[in-house]
């Protein structure tokens, strides 16, 4: 059964956030609003949930999943960040950016890129997602909600419920999302590289 929670986009109801967090903590996958498109998320160290998330999304282990964290202080546990990178991150986050960084040993090997040992990281600014991360008490792993064969991302929570009913445990309705993905910046090399331009302005990274 898929639970459907209508949560206020600015002032999330803590009771519903707690229920959603409990379902995720017990191995569930959730469709959640972000500051760009909707995403599918699950616990970082839940191997079965991560594999199911990849199957629903139709991606293999070469596709970067994204680590969603509450703030910049959490990033250093999971990715190597030098002073230059930290300054760039501080100017851009929270916001609609995904940055590719070198993964630390805290990241399960199955989640980092198999050949490059990198991980995508983002600090969202969506109040619902931030409240959920706070309640779960640890980062979540996620991916943009675009289903196999579709040429667009899902941004209508009602459509998400119809398409993924009984496949995932939670749909959080926080209002319509955008059809723009995050901007992806690769910071794992000597200079920033724009991999995908989306909602975030790449000029923040000098691009």
Closest CA to 128 of 1, 31, 53: 31
pLDDT, tens digit, 9 for 90 and up, residues 145-171: 999 999 888 889 999 999 999 999 999
Question: Residue 12 has what pLDDT?
Answer: 97
CB 139 within 8 A of CB 132: no
Between CA 129 and CA 15 the distance in angstroms is 14
pLDDT, tens only, 165-183: 999 999 999 998 888 889 9
Q: How far apart are CA 155 and CA 193, in angstroms?
A: 27
Cis ω for the linkage preceding 111 (within 30 of 0): no
Q: Where are the alpha helices (DSSP H) in the chain?
A: 14-25, 47-57, 72-78, 83-92, 127-136, 157-164
Task: Delineate the domains of the chain, giving CATH numbers in brackets.
Answer: 3-205 (3.90.870.10)
| pLDDT tens digits, one per residue of 76-123 | 889 999 998 999 999 999 999 999 999 888 877 766 666 678 889 999
**Cβ 97 vs Cβ 78: under 8 Å:** no
Q: Are strands 193-196 and 183-186 parallel, antiparallel or unpaired?
A: antiparallel
pLDDT in tens, 20-77: 999 999 999 999 999 888 999 999 989 999 999 999 999 887 787 899 999 998 998 8
- At 185, the pLDDT band (50, 70, 90 cuts) reads very high
How much of the chain, in percent, has pLDDT values that exceed 70? 96
Give the pTM: 0.92
Q: Which residue has the tokens 């590289």?
A: 193
CA–CA–CA angle 152, 49, 43 (5° rounding)? 95
Q: Which helix (H) or strand (E) holds 155?
A: none
> Which phi and psi angles does 115 have, rounded to 5°?
-105, -30
Q: What is the mean pLDDT of residues 116-137?
A: 93
From the centroid of its chain, how far is CA 118? 15
Measured on CA atoms in the order 85, 87, 92, 93, is the torsion positive or negative?
Answer: positive
């Amino acid at each position: 059964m898929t639970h459907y929670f209508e949560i206020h986009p600015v002032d999330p109801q803590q009771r519903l956030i707690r229920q959603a967090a409990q379902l995720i903590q017990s191995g569930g996958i959730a469709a959640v609003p972000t500051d760009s498109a909707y995403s599918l998320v699950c616990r970082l160290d839940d191997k079965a949930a991560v594999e199911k998330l990849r199957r629903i999304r139709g991606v293999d282990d070469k596709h970067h999943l994204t680590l969603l964290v509450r703030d910049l202080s959490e990033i250093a546990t999971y990715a190597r960040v030098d002073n230059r990178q930290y300054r760039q991150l501080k100017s851009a986050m929270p916001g609609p950016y995904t940055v590719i960084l070198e993964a630390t040993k805290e990241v399960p090997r199955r989640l980092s890129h198999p050949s490059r040992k990198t991980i995508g990281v983002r600090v969202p600014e969506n109040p619902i997602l931030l409240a959920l991360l706070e309640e779960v008490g640890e980062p979540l792993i996620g991916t943009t909600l675009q289903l196999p064969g579709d040429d667009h991302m899902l941004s209508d929570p009602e459509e998400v419920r119809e398409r993924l009913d009984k496949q995932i445990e939670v749909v959080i309705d926080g209002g319509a999302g955008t059809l723009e993905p995050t901007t992806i910046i690769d910071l794992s090399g000597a200079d920033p590289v724009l991999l995908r331009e989306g909602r975030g302005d790449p000029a923040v990274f000098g691009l």
